[in-house]
Chain A
């Protein structure tokens, strides 16, 4: 029988949990993780990574279809949905194996099963792990981190059934490409799938309850994205709600209400992407001081729940629901447990967000509107992709980089980008924001030519009336 007493037990091994465990191990803690499904969690197995594999297939397919624009010819361009999905699963499998290796390398004990808090004994937290054969193992630890993540939210009447109405999970392994598709919700998840299926030929309709797509992004970026999506042939209904779904044998008829008018739309499949809820059930939270607010665990700046020696991190604790946020929170919680000095809490305005649709969207910090509402006097810079040599050479001249500065201090309040590869570029602005650069350092930084990153420089210059290439 394996050892059952640890310094730290992490329940859940998504990008929050497994990173926290590795950091704990680095700090000399005897660490265990508990996973009821797959090491790496949703992110690696059913989220970030496999969708990126799918979207890469879509991108290559898109390029092949437009080979002519590059002076190339590709005849009989086609695709096999089964192989596209297979590749995606293989990528996920490879990373899952990678996490297994990391656990071994860091001497972290892995328990398969569902973990829950099980009281206190002798000053130690007890954790009960129930495996799929219903066998329960008792563990103890000085501290516990809850990192059980979140799952798709099910709205009454719009529940997924796995066949006609999908969540991200079914959408990721489609047996075929539906001829027509309704996507409910235009956040990152909804839009990425809309983009993927549209590229492979689905007639896609996106319904968003708010007045714009990608509603957490800067308004200008939302508007730019909507135009790009519509140009690709997506139908977008904003300020609209799906009232009901009527299922037939191989189709669904949705009743959609917008602006006081009702319309019916019949599609082959529906993807419900209306947000997520925290996995707070069966964690043994009853009778503890852990507070749950609207399916999310309430924590302080260090991830502490209020229950002695119990911390929580990541999606379980609420938005932004981002893997990199979870990882960072995990590290902070572990370092807080270890009593490291000089810790800084995670600042949500320094967490970048990326959406891998076509065109890509990436941002960090305050939107222009949010900055103004905060009382900042802002200087805004914009630079279009059409002014950048590399973008034109890539055949990706559609896009925008926007910066928002505090006119008083020169603080980079926010940066918002849409276009090719912006998800790879946003880190530049994130570093600038984290290192507290002002416009002066950004202007003084030499950006390599020819790269898309030059637009980041130009967008800074533009905010101060010094733009060169427009």
Chain B
């Protein structure tokens, strides 16, 4: 049966976009996952993947067409040997094969996976990625859980993960009795952190002290799957270059203390990270090529300074965005970050609050991490990994002195940012961090 391929919505607010380029032509046999075309919006360019397989029967919207409405048919997919209808099929059933924005090159991603043991925050896409039409994707994605309203509410109150409850109601629907059974059995608590579930080294005969624990299978949740996919792609496809610097932050700490003393009345409390955000924002304004995105044909220089900040949550890392950070004071940044982080932990961020962004900061200083190298959050060009501020003995004018030092490592996409460009950015950043007053200029 002929099915329509529809113009996808790449963000919740998108109503139209430009069909930038077709990667297939009429008569081409396509398989699911194959890139069909590129869609350009005011924010980014995305590749659209096929969800079904078949033959491109007819291309309805030519390359370069501007303002193509979301959900308008852009091509007709037919089965091999099937006649091609002249007009798109009736719209109702057509939603089925609607394409899905291809993950790898989609807009700046919201989630950052945390690598363990010196690993780094890494990019990942939203679980509910393609927003507007719900696109059934073969063999995966988040599946709808059928549960009665009462079961949902009891589960939510008791912190029970419905994905781990098996339903005994009609068609496997989860009912109150199932949730109560799960509660009394103590199963189906919120998904445990994967690390906790990972089997440790098998106990050997020499270590009989350890109880023989049973290995458990913990199915990947959708966020974990996306993190894995995006992390691997970023590391495989982006030629990373790492630049490490030490910043002396005594002045910054003093400035922070002064700011907080002033801000106490209005209950504004600024963290070191808030000040790093501000400093990066200022530095990015001076180095637009660091605030950039890579596509196969172009380098996109972002028009605004929007900084993604990694926040740890139970389900994985997510990167809410401080938009126009260069135009905001540290107090405003601190207030926004506090709100974003709180809602990120509750899973209540709106899509546009974590999708987009031109540069990412991942700070692991609070865990005592001295220095680490992060994985780039595509299509962004750079991510700054911030370590702990600690007192170290350094040499100043031939003397050993004690200074508070914070090591930072910039991971840059070498296709966009050459070593010297990255180094210049870090130099500029040094100016703001070591002399915070410069941020006020």
Residue of A nearest to B168 (CB): A342
Beta-carbon contacts under 8 Å, A430-445 to B: 435-438, 440-441
Q: Chain B contacts of A411 at CB under 8 A?
A: 150, 176
The reply to whether the CB of B187 lies closer than 8 angstroms to some CB of chain A is no
Q: Is residue A344 contacting chain B, with contact meaning CB distance below 8 A?
A: yes
Which chain A residues lie closer than 8 Å to B295 at the CB level? none
> A308 in the interface, Cβ–Cβ < 8 Å?
no
Residues of B within 8 Å of A438, CB to CB, are 149-150, 153
**Closest residue of B by beta carbon distance from A410:** B153
The listed residue (A344, A409, A435, A436) touching B157 by CB distance below 8 A is A409
CA gap between A438 and B172 in the complex, in Å: 20
Q: Which residues of A contact B154 (CB under 8 A)?
A: 409
CB–CB A436/B168 < 8 A: no
Interface string of A162-174 (1 = CB under 8 A from B): 0000000000000
Q: Name which of B150, B172, B175 has the most chain A CB atoms within 10 A of its CB.
A: B150
Q: Smallest distance from the beta carbon of A362 to chain B beta carbons, Å?
A: 22
Cα distance, A408 to B156, chains bound together (Å): 12
Chain B residues in 8 Å Cβ range of A440:
149
Q: B151 on the interface (CB 8 Å rule)?
A: yes
Q: Give which listed residue, B153, B168, B175, contacts A409 with CB less than 8 A.
A: B153
Q: State whether A410 and B150 are in contact (beta carbons under 8 Å apart), knowing that A436-B175, A436-B176 are contacts in the complex.
A: yes
Closest to B151 in A: A436
* Known A409-B157, A411-B176: A437·B168 in contact at CB below 8 Å: no
Known: A409-B153, A409-B154. A435 touches B168 (CB 8 A): no
A174 to chain B minimum Cβ distance, whole angstroms, is: 46
Least CB separation from A411: chain B residue? B150
Chain A nearest Cβ from B409, distance in angstroms: 49
CB-based contact A441/B168 at 8 Å: no
B424 lies within 8 A of chain A by Cβ: no
Q: Is B148's beta carbon under 8 Å from chain A?
A: yes
Q: Which of B148, B149, B157, B170 has the most CB of A within 10 A?
A: B149
Q: How does the 8 Å CB contact mask read for B150-181 relative to A, with 1 for contact and 0 for none?
A: 11011001000000000011101001100000
**Distance in Å: Cβ of B205 to nearest Cβ of chain A:** 45
Instruction: Give the docked Cα–Cα distance between A436 and B173 (Å).
Output: 11
Chain B positions within 8 Å of A408 at CB level: 157
Closest residue on chain B to residue A408 by CB atoms: B157
Query: A412-456 toward B: CB 8 Å interface, digit per residue (1/0)?
Result: 000000000000000000000001111011000000000000000
Which of chain A's residues have a CB closer than 8 A to the CB of B150?
409-411, 436-438
- B170 contact set on A, CB distance < 8 A: 342
- Say how far B389's CB is from chain A's closest CB, in angstroms: 47
Complex Cα distance, B150 from A272, in Å, reads 43
The answer to whether B168 and A344 touch across the interface, beta carbons within 8 angstroms, is yes
Question: Nearest Cβ distance between residue A365 and chain B, in whole angstroms?
Answer: 13
B 74-97 contacts with A by CB, 8 A: none
Check B153–A435 contact: CB distance below 8 A.
Answer: no
Select from chain A the residue with minimum beta-carbon distance to B150. A436
Residues of A within 8 A of B153 (CB): 409-410, 438
A331-371 contacts to B (CB < 8 Å):
342, 344
Q: How many Å lie between the Cα of A470 and that of B301 in the bound state?
A: 62
> Which B residues touch A441, using CB under 8 A?
149
- A436 and B157 CA atoms in complex are apart in Å by 16
**Residues from chain B with Cβ under 8 Å of A342 in the complex:** 168-170, 172
Minimum CB–CB distance for B22 against chain A, Å: 45
| Bound-state Cα–Cα, A344 to B167, Å | 12
Closest B residue to A440 using CB positions: B149
What is the chain B residue whose CB lies nearest that of A442?
Answer: B149
Nearest opposing residue in chain A for B170, CB measure: A342
Chain B CB within 10 Å, residue with most, of A409, A435, A436, A438:
A436
A436 to chain B, nearest CB (A): 3
Give the CA-CA distance A327 to B202 in the complex, in Å: 58
Annotate B258-288 by CB proximity to A: 1 below 8 A, 0 otherwise. 0000000000000000000000000000000
Who on chain B is nearest to A342 by CB? B168
Q: Per-residue CB proximity of A246-280 to B under 8 Å, as 1/0?
A: 00000000000000000000000000000000000
What's the nearest-Cβ distance from chain A to residue B58, in Å?
A: 43
User: How would residues 122 to 162 of chain B score, 1 for a CB under 8 Å from any chain A CB and 0 otherwise?
Assistant: 00000000000000000000000000111101100100000
Nearest CB on B from A413, distance (A): 11
* Neighbour of A437 across the interface among B149, B157, B169, CB < 8 A: B149
**Quick one: closest B residue to A347, CB to CB?**
B177
Interface centre among B148, B170, B172, B175 (most CB of A within 10 A): B148
The 9 closest A-B pairs by CB, nearest first: A436-B148, A436-B150, A438-B149, A411-B150, A441-B149, A437-B149, A409-B154, A438-B150, A436-B176
Given contacts A342-B169, A409-B157, A441-B149, 7 further A-B contacts (CB under 8 A): A410-B153, A435-B148, A435-B149, A436-B175, A437-B150, A438-B153, A440-B149
**21 A–B contacts, CB within 8 A, in A order:** A342-B168, A342-B170, A342-B172, A344-B168, A344-B169, A409-B150, A409-B153, A409-B154, A409-B157, A410-B150, A410-B153, A411-B150, A436-B148, A436-B150, A436-B151, A436-B175, A437-B150, A438-B149, A438-B150, A438-B153, A440-B149
**Chain B interface (Cβ within 8 Å of chain A)?**
148-151, 153-154, 157, 168-170, 172, 175-176
Residues of A within 8 A of B (CB): 342, 344, 408-411, 435-438, 440-441
